[in-house]
Structure 1
Amino acid sequence: MSAAREYGLEEQYEWPRPPAGGWTADDLDRLPNLPPHTELIDGSLVFTSPQTLFHMCAIRLLEHALLEQVPGHLAVLREMTVQLDQQNRPEPDLLAVSGDAVVSPRQTAFHPEDVVLAVEVVSDDSAKRDREVKPRKYAEAGVPHYWRVESNDGLPVVYVYELDPATKSYAPSGIFHDRLKVSVPFPLDIDLTAVNPRPPRL
């Protein structure tokens, strides 16, 4: 007998069975007891692994810097989904969206036309999605700017991409190691070495 059956967990944590044709974007708001940060990719539910310390620190560093430097007409949000279409509703780690798109405290998703920047911090289990699947989908949906953040010995390296509207694909516009300084989608200057999770001793 499995431990799950012995403790009655099989019945308690029964996974939802996908309908014919896969799940839809609306299902994410209706399905009960989904794990936090569940995404929808090509009609399939994608669950995330436990967050690493690098992942948390990189998100925190970039979020604080974006909040400090973002223009007033934009809003910076973390871990909110983007409904690209009925089969795809990914959850970027960070978003910069039009302030007009923030309409309700109960809001759970944004439309791609409202998104100015999508940021994904790569984890072991998300590497293929963040490097290949998501940027392709974001670009096809018209999201103008995409950053992919990788770890290099615990320090973030930011790969910056800009949409070519003629081809609906991203063109690389820079790889940033110690300092991220860009002029689009708005002027930004971020010290990437400040990712240390512990404050300096005084």
Structure 2
Amino acid sequence: MTAEAPSLPDWVFPPPEGFVAEDLDHIPDLPAHTELIDGSLVFASFQRDFHHTALFRLHVQLEDLVPPGHEVRQEMSVKLGRQQRPEPDLIVIGPEAIIGREVTCFEAEDVVLAVEVVSPDSEVRDRERKPVLYAKAGIPHYWRIEEIGGKPAVFVYELDPATMTYASNGIYHDRLKLSVPFDIDIELTTLYQARTR
């Protein structure tokens, strides 16, 4: 008697034209935090302590800094186009965004700031592909956070509306002090402090 091979879910076999943004809401048993990039499903992997800690602490600090009507969100995808629905690590949405229990993603025009914390498995996406997609969709600000020498460094970008690409606004190692997209003053050492035993 031979054992039957387990059946694979339908989403393992993408349609010839690729998936579309709305598919993420209708595919049964899709792993949590699945992103859609260029019509392909991208699955989340386990994250390091740096990723979780920096993201949590940044979220808490931004909550105190965002202007009235703005909200900070984690683990929410953003529809950038027909075949683009990534899930930034953190976003700040503006007052026009529709918020509610039934909302499964936000529209690109809702997002004021997209933040990615780089992990080994997401390095190319966070450094190369996602910034292009966010810029083309018109998201005005993008931050990339990386661990350098055990400390967080924040790479800050602002959208150039003439070219729809990001221009660098600096690399911050100790303190993040900005006036856009709103007044921000964060001691970066508070985002992650590794403890040794």
TM class, shorter-length: over 0.9
Could you list the runs of 5+ residues in structure 1 that have no partner in the other structure? none
Residue 180 of structure 1: aligned partner: 176
Residue 110 of structure 2: aligned partner: 114
Alignment partners' CA distance in 1, 2:190 and 2:62: 14
- Give the TM-score normalised by structure 1: 0.90
Is 1:82 matched with 2:100?
no
Alignment partners' CA distance in 1, 2:69 and 2:103: 19
Residue 148 of structure 2: aligned partner: 152
Is 1:61 matched with 2:70?
no
- Give the TM-score normalised by structure 2: 0.92
Q: Which amino acid aligns with 1:148?
A: R
Could you list the runs of 5+ residues in structure 2 that have no partner in the other structure? none
Partner residue of 2:167 out of 171, 174, 183: 171
Alpha-carbon RMSD = 2.0
Residue 38 of structure 2: aligned partner: 42
Alignment partners' CA distance in 2, 1:151 and 1:14: 37
Q: Which amino acid aligns with 2:27?
A: L
Count of aligned positions: 194
Q: CA 1:12–1:41 in 2, change beyond 3 Å: closer, same or farther?
A: closer
Instruction: Give the match's secondary structure for 1:87.
Output: coil
Instruction: Give the match's secondary structure for 2:96.
Output: helix
Instruction: Give the match's secondary structure for 2:169.
Output: strand
The C-alpha deviation readout for 1:125-159, integer Å capped at 9, x for no partner, is 10000000000010011000000000113311000
Is 1:22 matched with 2:18?
yes
Is 1:33 matched with 2:45?
no
Q: Which amino acid aligns with 2:180?
A: V
Q: CA 1:17–1:180 in 2, change beyond 3 Å: closer, same or farther?
A: same
